Structure 1
Amino acid sequence: MGIRITVVQGDITEQRVDAVVNAANRGMRGGGGVDGAIHAAGGPEVLADCVRRFPHGLATGAAGWTTAGLMPARWVIHVVGPNHRAGETDRSLLLSCYSGALAVADELGAGTVAFPLVSAGVYGWPRADAIAAALEALGSTPTSVVEARLVAFDAAAHAEIGAALSGRPGS
């Protein structure tokens, strides 16, 4: 049986899953949006682990993990999405964030993973394509992850993801 993709509206830092995915920047030292929220909720251990594990940051499209610190999840899987506003429009880098996160989840033994819409916030990736890319990568990447939970910050994103999910074959 393949991965079950679900959608919820809420705060990714409060998800009771094995791992949450952080839409990080290349520097891996915290930032705004999801990245800032995860660092704030996880506490100083998340940043300390980022500094230790990623002394030179992480490349766009790459994935790596740290502790989740004070969050209910056990791990944070950090991915660096392409910055559409800065001209990074290679969709394969966006797909790589999801497939890379699943590969890291498999290495960790994580069965449940909560994802934001990578690059759809401050990085300006068009939301409809960000949703399509997430569903494409999550639905086609071989993994032992049982549930990939897309966490929508607001009602509009929740409705759009839900509509895209209901239109998928097999849903």
Structure 2
Amino acid sequence: MIGRYATLLLLAGLFCVCCAAQRLPGEQRALEIRSMVNDIDSHLKGFNRSRIMLQTGTDRGGELTVYRKGSDVVRIDAVISGSNSDLRDVFYYSGTNLISVRTKTVNYPYSSRLNGFDFAAPHVKAAADYHVRDGNLIPVGRAKIAPSVASRLLQEAELFMTAIRHGTQVINIEKLLK
């Protein structure tokens, strides 16, 4: 009797371990996206690179760096520069689909010695990564996202990709930044 009970407990324990070890579909997709992003980042030097100017309405302007693998856009780096800060967004693509977004806000301290902002001493104010699922941004790790930020990032991604497809050399994004 004790042998049967022990066997049942062992089987129940193995069943629980097996169930816990299986990845949920969302977790599996997150791993696939992370792998694609890492692959893109590790091969940047081998991709074709081009630049597009951003009209931002800020005093230091902005720029896109577009990375292509063949004719496919795989990554877009957007830098929007204010007087004492940069907003850096990186968009990752698989085919024509946005798969991940990395965003970072960098501030530059004022230097009395330089009598201006010290661009050699950046300070990361905020940084977050997001995966895209069903047209929504899903925070990675402990990242949180305000609806306005999610909206801006998704609008930027669509605007940038559309402009790139049309061969635009200058993109006006002043309205998105307000």
Q: TM-score per shorter chain, which class? A: 0.3 to 0.5
> Taking structure 1 as the reference length, what is the TM-score of the superposition?
0.33
Q: Which has the larger radius of gyration?
A: 2
Q: As a proportion of its length, which structure holds more strand?
A: 2
More helix by share: 1
TM-score (norm 2): 0.32
